[in-house]
Every structure is written in C-alpha cells, then in structure tokens.
Amino acid sequence: MQQPSEREPFSLHRIWTGRGAYLLFALILLAVSGIGVALYAATGTPVGDPGSAVDRGVHNVPDTRTVPSATQPTRPSTPTTQPTTPSTVPTTQPSTKAPTTPTQPLPPLRVLPSSNEVLQPFSGEAPVYNPTLRLWQTHNGTDFAAALHSDVKAVCDGTVAAVRQDVRLGTVIEILHADGVVSRYAGVQAGVEAGQPVVSGQKIGSVGTVPGESHLPPHLHMEIEVGGKPVDPVRWIGQTVRTVASAEPDEPADPADTEPVKP
C-alpha cells in the first residue's frame, strides 16, 4: 500500500506548459467574446467594424453655431418724420386792440307781406275816394297787389294777438310786435290763431277778398300802427316797392261834402 505523497508546490510554469494553458486561453477568448457581445448590443456594430462606434463620427450633436442668414441685413430705417425744431414764435400774441363795447342787438328783420307792387298807397290824413263804398275816406293802409290764394307773410317777429272778422275788411289777422307795434292783414284766409308766435317772413295765411275794396283786383290790405296811430307800412318796413295803376273812381264826390271815414 502506497503512502500519500506530499502536495507539490504551485508553479506557473507547470500551468503554462500543461493543460492549464489551454484552460487559460479559453477563459481569455470567453472574456473577449463577452466584451464583443456587450459592445454590439450597445452600439449595434460588431467590434472591429470600420463603421463601428469606435471609429465613426458622433451624430445628433446640437449645433450651437449661428448660421448667417441668406438675406442681406436690412439697414435701420430712417425716421419718416423730421424732428420738429422748437418754434421761437409765441403761439399767441398779446392783444393790442382796445376793448370793444357791447354792440346793440340788431332790430328784427322786416319783410314785405306780399308782392312789391302797390295798388293803393297809404294816404295818411288825406281822404281818397272809395268806389266800392262810394265815399271819401282816409286810406290807413297799403294795398299790395297779389294773386288770389297766394301767401301772406308776417312782416316781422311777433305774436298773433287776434284773428277776427270785419264787415269792410273781411278776415283780419293782428300781430303784436316789439315796442307795441301792431301789424294788421285784411282780406285773408287765416293760417294762424291767437297766441301763436311767428317769425319774420313766416306764412300766416293766404290772399282772399276785401269786401270794402272789391273795386280793386285781388290784393292784400295791410296796416301798421305805432303807439295806436297808423303809419305808412312801406316806410316802416323799409323795402322798395312800385305803384301800379288801379281802377279809377266812377263818379267821385266832392270831398268837401263828405266827412273822412276810417275803414
């Protein structure tokens, strides 16, 4: 019976020259293969491939360089408006005019009530013969020639004081003006009523007939009273008129035998 031999000391030479060398070589190949498999799994390229991650360029790296624009750089625009130079002239000059005194208000406008043609003028205190009434009397108004139904206008601003009937004059419109002046329009078809304000030139009615002056063509008999006394309407209005021919009396009576009678 053999006695167990003593254990031999460890020697690298025996491993490298014996079967241990094959085992070591196998372990190295296994390690290299494992590294290659790991790299292929990470990069998708076999180890040693010319296009592998080891020797190919890195892509998808953000480029932080600024690329010059293809268009030419625009020049800064010049301002469209020129800078204003400060004015050396004061905007307002001190007034050297003397203070003006308040002006008096203008009198109300006065207009003719109808046409500018007069058939029978104002006679004042002188009596005239009336062929319709066959008597001599003062003519306290002015007869303006006018077409039947034509407009009758207020001669001035005022207020209608009355619309009444008169046996000789027919329908009469009376208008009260400033300073107690009264205008009277006879032989009309009234278009206003008492208490109504009117303005100069406003239509107040139309031309009708004057019973006491039927010998004349269609006309407007118009009177003006200032302070209760009759005055010449044409002179008070201040407009230019012209006198036209009227009917001549048939058989005038002697004015000495007839007392002046107001219409």
User: Side chain identity at 203, as an amino acid letter?
Assistant: K
Mean model confidence pLDDT for the chain = 78
Do residues 206 and 149 touch, judged by C-beta distance below 8 A?
yes
pLDDT for 36-93, tens place per residue?
667 666 665 555 554 444 445 445 555 555 555 545 555 555 555 555 555 555 555 6
The stretches of the chain forming alpha helices (DSSP H) are: 12-17, 20-43, 233-237
Which pLDDT value is given to residue 52? Answer: 45
pLDDT for 155-205, tens place per residue?
999 999 999 999 999 999 999 999 999 999 999 999 999 999 999 999 999
Per mean pLDDT, which range of 11-25, 105-119, 121-135 is the poorest?
Answer: 11-25
Do residues 239 and 200 touch, judged by C-beta distance below 8 A?
no
Do residues 195 and 162 touch, judged by C-beta distance below 8 A?
no
Give the residue-averaged pLDDT of 93-97: 62
| Whole-angstrom distance, CA of residue 15 vs CA of residue 10 | 9
Q: Decide: helix, strand or coil at residue 229.
A: strand
Which pLDDT value is given to residue 91? Answer: 58
Which pLDDT value is given to residue 29? Answer: 80
Which pLDDT value is given to residue 51? Answer: 47
Percent over 90 (pLDDT), the chain: 51
Q: pTM value?
A: 0.57
Predicted confidence (pLDDT) at residue 258 exceeds the cutoff of 80: no
Which pLDDT value is given to residue 55? Answer: 46
Binning pLDDT at 50, 70 and 90, where does residue 128 land? very high
Do residues 176 and 185 touch, judged by C-beta distance below 8 A?
no
Phi, psi of 235 (to 5 degrees): -65, -40
User: Side chain identity at 216, as an amino acid letter?
Assistant: L
